[in-house]
A = this chain, B = another copy of it.
Amino acid sequence: MSAKIIDGKLIAAKVQEEVRLGVAKMKAEKDYVPGLATVRVGQNPASATYVRMKQKMCEKLGLRSIGRELPETATQEEVMTLVKALNADPEVNGILVQLPLPNHIDEEAVLGSIDIEKDVDGFHPVNIGRLAMKGRDPLFVPCTPAGCMRLLKESGVQISGAEAVIVGRSNIVGLPMAMLLQKANATVTICHSRTRDLVEHVRNADIVVAAIGRTEMITGDMLKPGATVIDVGINQKDDDTRPRGYRLVGDVDFDSAKEVAGAITPVPGGVGPMTIAMLMENTLRAAEIAVNK
């Protein structure tokens, strides 16, 4: 048996197209163009790449992109002042502060200073608090977990009543993903480095979300036949046949897992393209909130 491959590129393209149409409609009907501000502090090369990708996607879908950069030496006050100026700017609908910030900056304070109606990354503590509570909904769901949920829905996976196991408990993926699946009535178990019997948990899961950052640690023999596997990991694996000397692989051993799983996301081309697509969707929604005020 070979699993159905959940095509993240295709589903992300669908989300992008929805956003592009929504942006065009808003421009036509309201003469308003949604804007995403990116804030980068310092010269982290990965951050520079991520910000550039987001800016390019804005251009592609017709959103306005507002890039702001501060030097590595920027003070807490300077970062907060910039965020406050963007909060007040009516042309800015979403504010994305690229993480990580330099060590001397209080990340929680910066994220908490973003206007909750512009918190398109979904990391404001009030958004997380709402996500964690029954009967309340955050304005914005963090992009990667939102993307994983969309992949599950587009693939027709039954979530209500399913046994779901999250491997990893990061603030940006594992924990919000657990809350989302729980809200969708799955029975959720959060596994992590202190979990005594990971294999036993994974073997009982109808849905496995791997987000622990360990190269190919979930193997096919650990899975329940027919399980849906969402692989959030992006790890470099030595590969002499590649020009860079490595290739990207997930937290799941794709080759063995696809023989047992019912559906599985590849790496790359699974969860990866969804994150930025969901950021665009969140920004469009932020603009809709703003224009309908």
Residues of chain A whose beta carbon lies under 8 Å from any beta carbon of chain B: 108, 112, 124-136, 160-163, 169-171, 175, 179, 182, 185-192, 194-197, 200-201, 204
Of B108, B134, B190, B200, which is within 8 A of A171 by CB? B134
B163, A196: Cβ atoms under 8 Å? yes
Known: A125-B126, A129-B125, A179-B132. A195 touches B187 (CB 8 A): yes
Of B125, B186, B197, which is within 8 A of A133 by CB? B125
Query: How distant is A252 from chain B, measured CB to nearest CB, in Å?
Result: 20
Nearest B residue (CB) for A206: B196
B131, A175: Cβ atoms under 8 Å? no
Of B108, B125, B163, B201, which is within 8 A of A125 by CB? B125
- Cα of A179 to Cα of B182 in the assembled complex, Å: 13
For residue A196, which residues in chain B have a CB less than 8 angstroms away from its CB?
161-163, 187
- Cα of A190 to Cα of B175 in the assembled complex, Å: 13
- Cα of A71 to Cα of B191 in the assembled complex, Å: 48
Of B133, B169, B200, which is within 8 A of A134 by CB? B169
A-B contact pairs, 29 of them (CB 8 A): A124-B129, A125-B125, A125-B126, A125-B129, A125-B136, A127-B129, A128-B128, A128-B133, A129-B129, A129-B130, A132-B132, A132-B175, A132-B179, A133-B171, A134-B170, A134-B171, A135-B171, A160-B194, A161-B195, A161-B196, A162-B196, A163-B196, A163-B197, A185-B194, A187-B191, A187-B194, A187-B195, A187-B196, A188-B190
Query: How distant is A60 from chain B, measured CB to nearest CB, in Å?
Result: 32
B182, A169: Cβ atoms under 8 Å? yes
B190, A187: Cβ atoms under 8 Å? yes
Of B132, B169, B188, B195, which is within 8 A of A129 by CB? B132
B134, A125: Cβ atoms under 8 Å? no
For residue A125, which residues in chain B have a CB less than 8 angstroms away from its CB?
125-126, 129-130, 133, 136
B108, A136: Cβ atoms under 8 Å? yes
Query: How distant is A47 from chain B, measured CB to nearest CB, in Å?
Result: 20
For residue A186, which residues in chain B have a CB less than 8 angstroms away from its CB?
194
Q: A135-B171, A163-B197, A187-B196 are in contact. List 6 more A-B contacts (CB 8 A).
A: A125-B130, A126-B129, A129-B132, A132-B175, A161-B194, A187-B189
For residue A161, which residues in chain B have a CB less than 8 angstroms away from its CB?
194-196
For residue A169, which residues in chain B have a CB less than 8 angstroms away from its CB?
134, 182
- Cα of A204 to Cα of B195 in the assembled complex, Å: 13
Query: How distant is A102 from chain B, measured CB to nearest CB, in Å?
Result: 17
For residue A175, which residues in chain B have a CB less than 8 angstroms away from its CB?
132-134
- Cα of A163 to Cα of B170 in the assembled complex, Å: 19
For residue A124, which residues in chain B have a CB less than 8 angstroms away from its CB?
129
Known: A129-B132, A134-B169. A188 touches B189 (CB 8 A): yes
